[in-house]
Amino acid sequence: MVTRTPALVERMRPHAASIFGQMSSLAQASGAINLGQGFPDEDGPAELQDIARAAIADGRGNQYPPAHGLPDLRLAVAEHQSRFYGLSIDPDTEVVIGTGASEVLQSALLALCEPGDEVVVFEPWFDLYGAGIALAGATRVSVPLRPPSYRPDIDALADAITARTRVLLLNSPHNPTGVVFTREELQAIADLAVEHDLIVLSDEAYAHLWFDGHPHIPISTLPGMFERTISVGSGGKSFSFTGWKIGWGSGPQDLIAAVRVVRQHLSYVSGGPFQYAIAAGLRLPDAYFDGLRAQMQTKRDLLTGGLRSLGFEVTESQGTYFATSDLGPFARIEGRNVDGRQMCEWLPDHAGVAAIPIQVFCDDPELGAQSIRWAFGKADDTLIEALTRLQKVVRL
Ligand code: PMP
C-alpha cells in the first residue's frame, strides 16, 4: 500500500464536509421534505428558458463567450445597477461575469488577499466564505450576529478590525438569518471601511428577495463607498434558476480588473447560452421583481406562521428565502436536551422534514447551537405538508 500524507491540503481540511450535502442525503434516504438546501423548487420565467433554448438552437454561446462575460450581459448588469440603485457603471471595465455569485466571490478573495491578510465577516456565515478565505491563505475573523434579532453589532465589528484587515465581507440580505441591514447599519459599517481603508466585498445574491418595508440597499450607494466596494449578484437567486450558475460583480475598475485576472484562470467562461437569458432577465419589467418578492413573502408567512403555531420562536425574516427559529418543541427529544445539529439529524427520520442547524455556519459553537434555518422557497403544498408532518410529531 502506498503511504503518503493526506491528499487534501491542510487549509481545506476543515471545509471537507458540506452540511448541505449531508442533510440532503439524510432527507433523500428517509423521503423527508428538504427544507434544508436553499434552492426554489419552482423554476423561474418560461420566457428566459425560451431564450436559453433559442440561443443553443441558433448557435449563440455554444462556443467560448468573451472571458469577462458577454458584452450584452455586462451592459444589462450596468443598466440593472442604474435602474434599481442609481449607480453609473461602465460595462466594459466595471463588470465581471462569473460562474454564479460563488465564482465571483471566490475570485475576489483570491485576487485581493495576500496570505495572512484578515477578512472580517459576520457569523453565522455562508460556508463558501470560509473555504474561499482559506484558499486565499487569509485569516477569517468572525463577528457574531446574535439570536434572536441577529442585528449587526457595530462596536464588535470595530473591535475586530486590525492593521491586517484587508476585506470586509458583507452579506445582505443575509443567509442564513434573513436579516436585511438597514441604511443606518450600513452607514456605520461604511464609516469603518472608510476609516480603515478596507475593501468591501458585498454579497448581494438575494438583492431581489426582501420583504415588507426592508428594502435591500447596496453599500456601494453610500457616499465614498463605490470606489472600495465589489457588489456581487446572482442570476440563480434573482431568476430562480440556481442550476444555470450565472453571477456578476460590479465595482470600480481597479477592483474589477483584479477579480477578472483570477476569475479567467478559474472557469475562464461559463454558461454561454444562459448569459443571453440572464441578460433578458435583468431587463424584465418591475412587475417581475415585485411578483417574485410578493410570492416569496407569502411563502415566508405560510411557513413561519405554521412554525410559530407549533411553538417555535421564529425571527422575522426580512429577506432571502430563509427563516430562523429556536428548537421549539424539539429542544428535548426522547427525554434529553439536544442542540440544533442533533435535532436536524433526528428530524428527517422521525418527522420526515429536513432543516439546517445554524451552528454549522459559526466559528463560535455556542452561537448557533439553539437555532435552525428553514428554507421556504418551496411549493405551497410542500410547505403545508412539511408543517403537517411536524405537527404530527409535536402531538405525539
Ligand atoms: N451568496 C449567498 C449568501 C448564497 O446563499 C449563495 C447560494 N446559496 C451564493 C452566494 C451563491 O450563489 P450562486 O448560486 O449564484 O453561485
What does pTM read for this prediction? 0.97
Which residues on neighbouring strands pair with residue 210, listed in sequence order? 319
Q: What pLDDT is stored for residue 16 in this prediction?
A: 86
Q: Which of 24, 126, 206, 238 to mutate to test the pocket of ligand 1 (most atoms within 8 A of CB)?
A: 126
Q: What confidence tens digit (pLDDT) does each residue in 265-316 have?
A: 999 999 999 999 999 999 999 999 999 999 999 999 999 999 999 999 999 9
Q: Helix, strand, or coil here: 16?
A: coil
The average pLDDT across 314-322 equals: 97
Q: What pLDDT is stored for residue 337 in this prediction?
A: 95
Q: What pLDDT is stored for residue 260 in this prediction?
A: 98
Helical residues (DSSP H) of the chain, grouped into ranges: 19-30, 46-57, 71-85, 100-112, 127-135, 154-160, 183-195, 235-239, 253-264, 272-282, 286-309, 340-351, 380-395
Q: Which residue has the higher pLDDT, 153 or 23?
A: 153
Instruction: Please compute, for residue 305, the number of CA atoms within 13 A of its CA located in the half-sphere on the CB side.
Output: 9
Task: Work out which ligand 1 atom sits closest to the CA atom of 103.
Answer: 16
Among 103, 104, 137, CA closest to 119: 137
- Whole-angstrom distance, CA of residue 324 vs CA of residue 363: 18
Contacts of 197 (CB under 8 A, 6+ apart): 228
313 touches 326 (CB < 8 A) = yes
Please tell me what DSSP assigns to residue 314.
Answer: B
195 touches 228 (CB < 8 A) = no
Q: What pLDDT is stored for residue 396 in this prediction?
A: 65
Nearest CA to ligand 1 atom 4: 205
Q: Which of 237, 241, 324 to mutate to test the pocket of ligand 1 (most atoms within 8 A of CB)?
A: 237
Nearest CA to ligand 1 atom 14: 100
Give long-range contacts, CB 8 A cutoff, 24+ apart: 160-164: 160/120, 161/120, 161/192, 161/196, 161/198, 162/118, 164/116, 164/117, 164/118, 164/139
Q: What confidence tens digit (pLDDT) does each residue in 45-77 have?
A: 999 999 999 999 999 999 999 999 999 999 999
Nearest CA to ligand 1 atom 1: 205
The average pLDDT across 353-379 equals: 93
Q: What pLDDT is stored for residue 67 in this prediction?
A: 93
Q: Which residues line ligand 1 (CB under 6 A)?
A: 38, 100-102, 126, 171, 175, 203, 205, 234, 236, 242, 245, 247
Q: Give the chain's domains with CATH numbers.
A: 10-43+288-394 (3.90.1150.10), 46-286 (3.40.640.10)
**Residue 329 Cα to ligand 1 middle (Å):** 31
Q: Helix, strand, or coil here: 62?
A: coil
The average pLDDT across 145-158 equals: 96
Whether the predicted pLDDT of 218 surpasses 70: yes
**Residue 127 Cα to ligand 1 middle (Å):** 10
What's the whole-number average pLDDT of the chain? Answer: 95
Task: Work out which ligand 1 atom sits closest to the CA atom of 105.
Answer: 10
Q: What pLDDT is stored for residue 1 in this prediction?
A: 65
The b-or-e profile of 211-227 (16+ CB within 10 A means b, else e) is beebbbbbbbbbeebbe
Q: What is the DSSP string of 83-134?
A: HHH-----TTTSEEEEEHHHHHHHHHHHHH--TT-EEEEEES--HHHHHHHH
Task: Work out which ligand 1 atom sits closest to the CA atom of 171.
Answer: 3
